[in-house]
Structure 1
Amino acid sequence: MRSIRRQLLVTLLATITLTTLLGALATYRTALDEANALFDYQLRQLALSFRDQASQNAHMRDLAINDDAQDFSIQIWRPDGTRIYLSHPGKELPHLAPLGFATVDTGNGKWRVFGLQQGGQTIQVAQPLRVRDGLALAAALRTVEPFLLMLPMLGVLIWVVVGRGLRPLDAVARAMTTRTPVALGPLPTNGVPTEVAPLVRSLNDLLARLKRALDSQRDFIADAAHELRTPLAALSLQLQLARRAADAQSRGEAFGELERGLTRATHCVQQLLTLARQEPGGGDRPLMPVNLGDLVAKVVAEQLPLAEDRQIDLGVTPAARAVTVRGDAEALQILVSNLVGNAIRHTPSGGKVDVAVGDGADGVFVEVNDSGPGIPVEERERVFDRFYRRAQTDEPGSGLGLAIVRTIAERHQASVLLDEADLGGLRARVRFDGSPAS
């Protein structure tokens, strides 16, 4: 596992060292240029002083070189090329070079040479370039040396400063370790640095979604256990009655009740599984373009036998054009099927159920109208609660149909509105907030 603190330390120290070395290189080049200019001036002045001495002295042995000029070598030639003076005998020095400044490469390294003529004689003053390089390098080292000596101290300071800067992350980590499945409160945001604030906001959003999911799961388990307890107890009682039946007719009636009880329990379990799959994290499938007209027609065709059995006039009002939304086709089919099935079951025989699809001013919608008794205004919100069943209804059911409808609608960013229908019963309208899929 990589350490941000260690990575920052290594990166900053490497950057400082590289910058220092580049500064030393720039200092070396600058010092070398200045040394070249200064020493070239000295070469010229030294050559001119020897020219003046040579013009005033008759003998070359009377010429003298100052101790400060020991880095310089002086040679003097007659017009015929005979050397009459050499300041450092035994050293390999540049031979006769062109007049003016020149750089000469010898077996003893490179030399900087200045030559002039006086009275037919040639005076040449030379200096090894290594002397200039050494002075420039010494100047560069003097510049970079304090920074190199300070690197350990800089490392310690960087380690401490970076550690202080990372304290907010440590605080967030410690706060996260205190969160449990039963205590998923948001992380504190007071005093959080600007750079850490997005992380804290994202974690709080994650904690909120996780809390909702866990609460929903706990509620689901509690509701399922409560609702299944009653039908299972009834099944057990009906089984005992079937065993105790004295004759075939009584036994047949008992087994008939047992079969109907099993059907109700099976329907309840199927609805519970459907609701669980539609909850967040229940295996969401990717959203794809869905043609609502085709989907409604398919649901109506499936529900038509039930409508005919109850003598219900089931019809569809198609949209003027194809209406498509992005969604989960299977989930949307369950939504429409639950709405149509509820309308058929709660509409009296000879009634009417009309399903419509459209694209109105307020967006895409699916609407189911029936001529049944409807739902009072004060109960229209409660019917979306899980396992809620109106006391006035005799129709069998689990009380999960509209809860599943709302769950699927919220997953598709849609809203479910219950109102009075033109047919006299209930109008259930699902409006999709997003724009139609292209």
Structure 2
Amino acid sequence: MKLSSIRRRILIFLIPLLFVVWGVFSAIVYNLTEEELYETHDAQTFQLASVIAQLQGDTISPEHLDEHHVIGDYFVVIRDASGNDIYKSSDKVVLPKTLKPGVQEIEHGRDDWVVWNFPGQKTGQHYIIGVIFDEAIELADQTVATVSIPLALVLVFSIIATIFIVKRGLRPLTALSETLATREPGNLGKVTTEKQADELVPIVDSLNMLFDKIEEHLAREQRFIDDAAHEIRTPLTVVKAQCQVIERDALDDATRLRFDNIIEGVDRATHLAAKLLEHARAGQDVHKEITEHDLLPVLQESLAQQAHAALDKNVELQLLQSEHVEAVVDPEDLGAVLGNLIGNAIRHTPSDGEVIVVLERRDDHIQLSVEDSGPGVPEEYREKVFERFFRMPGQSSSGAGLGLSITQTLCRRNGIEISLGKSERLGGACFVLKLKK
């Protein structure tokens, strides 16, 4: 039978188990209690038989008595109306001359006794039966023990069994939780309702509806950024074109300074719009298929694109690995990542500095490193540099603060692990990329 319901799954396992536990431990309690009752009954029967035998002038051997009892545990006394003992089964206990009718406790030597005094209705005789106190309470103790110990075991076993069955019954919920916990942040695909418990289907459906709404909202946000970036770039291009028509040399010094500031502001705004557009595109196509590609052409092209910037700043730019290595990555995304990292390293490296790109094979991944001889990044800022619009205090170089955020987004899309540390070779910053083989 298919257990599609968590409730049914738990009940089907738990109820039969409780019946089994109840049956087993009831049998144990019955056997233990029966054994103790039989022992007590045997001792009392032996005492009664001994009294009858003595009244007939005979005796019974104590070897027939159960080993748990001794002859001195019981006594029988018959008294006449004057208080004289007509019959005594044992001289071990000396009774007071007067005993009130009914049950009472007396102390003799080191032992406590429970004594029953039954007056006769016709002869006035008293029939006295005594049992040592320990023997009187032994049956109660044994009965309590034989009941409480198995019940305690039943309780412990039931708790353990219940925990196990509930854990097993809630396994579909645990599996769903693990599925959601291992999802990538950008994965908003639907969660399948196949093989889900009946109680979880409405939850999964609600989650899928929420994922659809989030995906739709993110798509609108990305379209807005894309459209805004396009709309911003067009008037900026027009403004810059109009400024370039003006003859700069014909302006006085103060006007020339304001003119240069306008050109610089337009360039920065254009750069920001380009970065916003790049950021929007980086968040798109999250689920596109990625296959293995040769990294060497991508590295060579990325260095070639940054060679002019390095030459202008007199920064030595080199690749320390020239063999063909394949990794699971999108070449365009990797090119954008390397372009951001190499360009960032050149900007922050002083003149006559050095920037190197290192490609290494590791046991379980391919490692790419971009290192520079610049001032590096203090440890307290190494996580924050990947945040949008973050700029380190005292930083003099221009930038929109989006390059590393875009880089991290592209790395996540390609399953690349990126980290920032200190370069052991050059002493500056070292960005490390770990690519899947």
TM-score tier, shorter chain, comes to 0.3 to 0.5
Normalization by structure 1: what TM-score?
Answer: 0.47
